[in-house]
């Protein structure tokens, strides 16, 4: 397993497929027939590779992307940030919905490579950003969107505190969450709800009820 070229690694270890909730989109994803599906964290660690979160269309991201495609007015003509972008599917949905500019933030080099490949597959352009943006002001962003960022307490608390401050500055903040443990219990306005088919290899059930929330200022 080589990782000298992230783009080649993505191409070699994924297959082009449609996310379950997004039939109009194609992404490089791990499937039952690709090596990444059976790769364990121990195997990845031995090869000095981070867990391949970028290789899966997580339910929170799928729900946000579906909401954007069904309600394009929330991003049309606007400058958007797909935070913790993973596959880039939310950013791609924003571009397809007519966003003026799409920035997709990820600190994983493999995710950045996957996002670039996925954007090309769907005929759109994303600006990939590898910086850790948490804590920074975003004066040039109108909408921040994020899927599945509340699965670990430290990250969830740090990110939601920052995003509430961003929301207080007038930016629309949209979260997709399939019932993760550390989603805030207050300060949320539901925008939509979707039943997202999932795999037992990734989740504890085959269907995840997933909400799309507007995060309100703190």
User: What length is written for the chain?
Assistant: 218
- Which helix (H) or strand (E) segment is 163 a member of? helix 153-168
* CA nearest to 207, candidates 198, 218, 217: 198
pLDDT (0 to 100) of residue 218: 73
Instruction: Provide the 8-state DSSP code for 101.
Output: E
pLDDT (0 to 100) of residue 33: 58
φ, ψ (nearest 5 deg) of residue 56? -130, 140
As a whole number of angstroms, the distance between CA 205 and CA 218 comes to: 33
pLDDT at 3 over 60: no
- Which helix (H) or strand (E) segment is 157 a member of? helix 153-168
CATH of domain 57-215: 3.40.50.150
Dump pLDDT digits (tens) for 86-127: 999 999 999 999 999 999 999 999 999 999 999 999 999 999
* CA nearest to 128, candidates 159, 154, 101, 167: 101
Q: Where are the domains of the chain?
A: 57-215
pLDDT (0 to 100) of residue 52: 81
Dump pLDDT digits (tens) for 16-53: 999 999 999 999 998 765 666 565 455 556 666 666 88
Residue 112 near residue 118 (C-beta atoms within 8 A): no
* CA nearest to 7, candidates 112, 121, 126: 112
Dump pLDDT digits (tens) for 51-90: 688 889 999 999 999 999 999 999 999 999 999 999 999 9
Dump pLDDT digits (tens) for 191-214: 999 999 987 767 778 899 999 999
pLDDT (0 to 100) of residue 2: 44
């Amino acid at each position: 397993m080589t990782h000298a070229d992230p783009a080649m690694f993505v191409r070699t270890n994924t297959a082009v497929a449609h996310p379950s909730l997004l039939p109009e989109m194609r992404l490089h994803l791990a499937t039952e027939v690709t090596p990444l599906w059976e790769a364990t964290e121990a195997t990845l660690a031995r090869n000095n590779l981070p867990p391949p979160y970028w290789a899966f269309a997580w339910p929170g991201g799928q729900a946000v992307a579906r909401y954007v495609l069904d309600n394009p007015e929330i991003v049309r003509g606007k400058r958007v940030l797909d935070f913790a972008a993973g596959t880039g599917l939310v950013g791609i949905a924003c571009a397809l919905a007519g966003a003026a500019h799409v920035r997709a933030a990820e600190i994983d080099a493999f995710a950045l490579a996957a996002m670039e490949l996925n954007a090309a597959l769907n005929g759109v352009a994303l600006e990939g950003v590898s910086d850790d943006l948490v804590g920074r002001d975003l004066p040039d962003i109108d909408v921040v969107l994020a899927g599945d960022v509340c699965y670990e307490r430290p990250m969830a608390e740090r990110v939601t505190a920052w995003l509430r401050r961003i929301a207080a500055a007038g930016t629309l903040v949209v979260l997709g969450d399939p019932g993760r443990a550390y989603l805030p219990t207050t300060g949320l306005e539901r925008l939509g709800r979707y039943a997202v088919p999932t795999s037992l290899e990734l989740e504890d059930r085959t269907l995840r009820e997933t909400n799309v929330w507007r995060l309100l200022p703190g």
